[in-house]
Structure 1
């Protein structure tokens, strides 16, 4: 019997995308929590047996280990019987998914992660306040790429790669949801992205809310303490 394990944590944006893909497509799997908050990804055993890069997500499919979320999502879409919209077999449609994935890595993901890390991770790991000047610069760049999402990637289509939801949307949504923990909720500042995220969310319920539940609880807790 085939065995699929996901090494994940719900506060990892790419890990959430992989979790959401498997849950939404009813792919039998086991989720193995790697507690990033406690630094479990740095454990010698994890680095030795799962991922020497000390990150999540990672999958173990019948003894085949694969790291990096984009590679994982492409592999899962090709390996399991899922609807074609996720990673289309048609060359042009598939290229449109890849186009967004290649762009996002150095844009939405880069600046969103840098902002989130400076505002949320740094204070909790160093016990020092964030560098607000650096955070403001990251946020400025993040807003620029979000505006590009609205004016280019969502200009004339409901999803970032076309007319149907794809693996590109899982990664896009997971990144855009994350920065609420840094104090910037994209849904409050970018109405077109707000509508887009609701389309992704509504089409993937109840899995979308389940996968983002830890993030949303932390966000509510932060708002309550302000």
Structure 2
């Protein structure tokens, strides 16, 4: 049975899983969840994920939610190169250190800036809340400073000298805002 990947590539965590699956040539069946139509809120999808979010994978009847858990699982269960999630406990701990930090820093601050600056105004057809935009822009810049001056201070990747799942998650969070900004500037 093929791995089933339920997601929407507008979601940063879904993009990280998508890149990982492609980079490692892991066969999968993509099940697009149209969040603009509320498919993630449907009774059918709620049976798969009562949290009503993407991503979700189903692997031979085993269902797993949450991107970090999914990426760790895929590293353990599929034949991928060790650098993605090293088996050496100290190297793995460095990856885990970033993964734990990123939820309340990279993910939170970049996503909230994106939401208040672009997504909420787009969905509600109203101007951005400038107070919230300013606050989350400040927080996002602090995060980006930490990534540059702490996480990437002495290494080319977030947790060492080789790419890991931490880099996929970090890159997808950061590029969301920059990609959207470049699209706006291209059409302006």
2: CA distance, partners of 1:175 / 1:120:
15
1: CA distance, partners of 2:180 / 2:80:
34
2:6 alignment counterpart: 7
Matched residue SS, 1:108: helix
1: CA distance, partners of 2:180 / 2:110:
9
Q: Quick one: which of 37, 47, 50 aligns to 1:52?
A: 50
Aligned length: 188
1: CA distance, partners of 2:89 / 2:187:
50
1:118 alignment counterpart: 116
Matched residue SS, 1:130: coil
Are the counterparts in 2 of residues 116 and 181 from structure 1 also a CA contact under 8 Å? no
1:211 alignment counterpart: none
Pair 1:180-2:157 in alignment: no
TM norm structure 1: 0.80
Matched residue SS, 1:55: coil
2: CA distance, partners of 1:39 / 1:120:
20
Are the counterparts in 2 of residues 119 and 182 from structure 1 also a CA contact under 8 Å? no
2:38 alignment counterpart: 39
2: CA distance, partners of 1:145 / 1:118:
17
Matched residue SS, 2:58: strand
1: CA distance, partners of 2:83 / 2:187:
42
Are the counterparts in 2 of residues 100 and 161 from structure 1 also a CA contact under 8 Å? yes
TM norm structure 2: 0.95
**Structure 1 segment 84-163 matched on structure 2, within 5 A:** 84-163=82-161
2: CA distance, partners of 1:157 / 1:72:
26
2: CA distance, partners of 1:88 / 1:65:
24
Q: Quick one: which of 45, 67, 72 aligns to 1:74?
A: 72
Matched residue SS, 2:70: helix
Are the counterparts in 2 of residues 115 and 182 from structure 1 also a CA contact under 8 Å? no
Unaligned regions of 5+ residues in structure 2, if any? none
Question: How far 1:182 sits from its partner (Å)?
Answer: 5.6
User: CA 1:171 to 1:180, structure 2 compared with 1: closer, same or farther past 3 Å?
Assistant: same
